């Protein structure tokens, strides 16, 4: 594993940080005076505001969403991405999105020599660019857990998982999304390798169901042969759309709660566009429950967990169901930097007969998913 070996070779955190900075000289804060931004959503707006505070010249902000083109972000009009060709080829271009690979390929093809994700600035200069929770302590955690990653490499059930794991480590060391090009599965929850078993009349839990997009994916792949689907979504507005989308399907049970280790009320904190997480102190109140409390021993076939960083707590709240029924698991492992190794460790702690697989479903930090399938 090339990048795992590279990680293990660093003598200290400073050497790791210096190596990353050396790979991106145009984005070192001491040299950065001007840039262009691709992406005018929350992260793009946040980056533009931070640049204004540091007197960095934002030459252009580009986005292909027609709804935002022509709007003004920090006194800069939003233009189509193709219009960036008017800029010099050496202009530093920052992709203000967690989805990086496709944008990187496009901008490189347009002739730009210096392209990087916003994450790079957050990692190299966190005091100037407050990190999104995906990247907070990114290098520090990676260096501290290098021996855990070495051990984890031996737990994956197939070589492709080891390749994905190595690419994720490589991205964290380099901020180079092209490392995902050969391993990314663009279709979410449809992993390479044909290791997911056929499910007979399954009971499926979709935690972090949003408006039902991944429930629809499950039904498309499963057909009509399912017994029941539980969809958990804590946000009231999104939940209303979820429920409305399945009013004609009585087998889809929409639940306006988040998932956690136990039933209680927590707070959902949208930390200034730096990420969203469940906390005990700030944000809006959100009711949460557990899978064990909901199912009360009922049979379960598959659990998908994408719950804004509460995946470990949700696994604790599903431990009885998992130990009893050995459902297939699909658990997000990217919301916090240490989840890449903590999620598989937690799953193995519940059942040691699970075979573990790792898949990457987008070209950036997001959609890293650990799959677990009990040995037959």
* CA nearest to 264, candidates 294, 288, 292: 288
* 187 vs 189: CA distance, rounded Å: 6
- pLDDT reported for residue 189: 94
pLDDT on residue 289: 97
Return the pLDDT at 285.
85
Euclidean distance between CA atoms 133 and 138, whole angstroms: 9
pLDDT band at 272 (very low <50, low <70, confident <90, very high): very low
Among the ranges given (94-98, 234-238, 266-270, 287-291), the one the predictor scored with the smallest mean pLDDT = 266-270
Q: Write phi, then psi, for 21 (nearest 5 degrees).
A: -60, -40
Rounded CA separation 168/170 (Å): 5
Quick one: what percent of the chain has pLDDT higher than 70?
96
Q: What does DSSP assign to residue 212?
A: S
CB 259 within 8 A of CB 321: no
The residue that leads in pLDDT, 224 or 72, is: 72
Give the pLDDT of residue 356.
Answer: 98
Q: Residues 302-323: what's their mean pLDDT?
A: 96
pLDDT in tens, 228-243: 999 999 888 999 999 9
Distance CA 103, CA 115 (A): 9
Least Cα distance to 371 among 165, 147, 221 occurs for: 165
Domains annotated for the chain, with CATH where assigned, are 12-134 (3.40.50.720), 184-374 (3.40.50.150)
Q: What is the pTM of this model?
A: 0.95
Report CA 270 to chain centroid distance, whole Å.
16
Q: What does the pLDDT look like over 277-288, one tens digit per residue?
A: 666 666 678 899
What is the average pLDDT score of the chain?
94
Residue 29 has pLDDT above 70, yes or no: yes
């Amino acid at each position: 594993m090339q990048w795992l070996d590279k990680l293990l070779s660093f003598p200290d955190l400073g050497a790791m940080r210096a190596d990353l900075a050396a790979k991106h000289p145009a984005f070192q804060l001491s040299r950065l005076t001007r840039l262009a931004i691709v992406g005018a959503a929350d992260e793009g707006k946040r980056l533009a505001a931070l640049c204004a505070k540091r007197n960095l010249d934002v030459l252009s902000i580009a986005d292909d969403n027609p709804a935002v083109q022509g709007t003004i972000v920090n006194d800069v009009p939003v233009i189509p991405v193709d219009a960036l060709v008017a800029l010099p080829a050496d202009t530093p271009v920052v992709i203000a999105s967690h989805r990086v690979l496709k944008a990187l390929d496009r901008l490189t093809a347009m002739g730009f020599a210096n392209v990087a994700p916003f994450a790079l600035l957050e990692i190299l200069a966190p005091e100037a660019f407050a990190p999104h929770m995906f990247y907070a302590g990114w290098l520090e955690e990676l260096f501290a857990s290098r021996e855990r990653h070495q051990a984890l490499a031996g737990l994956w059930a197939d070589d492709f998982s080891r390749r994905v794991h190595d690419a994720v480590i490589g991205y964290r060391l380099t901020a180079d999304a092209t490392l995902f090009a050969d391993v990314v599965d663009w279709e979410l929850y449809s992993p390479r390798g044909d290791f997911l078993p056929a499910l007979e009349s399954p009971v499926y839990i979709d935690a972090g169901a949003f408006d039902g997009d991944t429930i629809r994916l499950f039904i498309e792949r499963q057909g009509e042969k399912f017994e029941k689907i539980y969809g958990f979504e804590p946000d009231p507005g999104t939940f209303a759309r979820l429920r409305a989308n399945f009013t004609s399907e009585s087998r889809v049970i929409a639940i306006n709660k988040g998932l956690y280790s136990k039933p209680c009320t927590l707070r959902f904190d949208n930390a200034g566009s730096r990420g969203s997480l469940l906390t005990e102190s700030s944000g809006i109140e959100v009711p949460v429950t557990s899978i064990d409390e909901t199912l009360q021993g009922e049979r379960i076939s598959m659990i998908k967990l994408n719950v804004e960083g509460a995946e470990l707590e949700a696994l604790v709240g599903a431990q009885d169901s998992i130990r009893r029924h050995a459902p297939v698991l699909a658990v997000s492992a990217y919301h916090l930097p240490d989840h890449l190794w903590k999620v598989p460790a937690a799953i193995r702690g519940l059942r040691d007969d699970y075979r573990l697989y790792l898949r990457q479903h987008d070209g950036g930090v997001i959609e890293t998913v650990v799959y677990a399938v009990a040995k037959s």
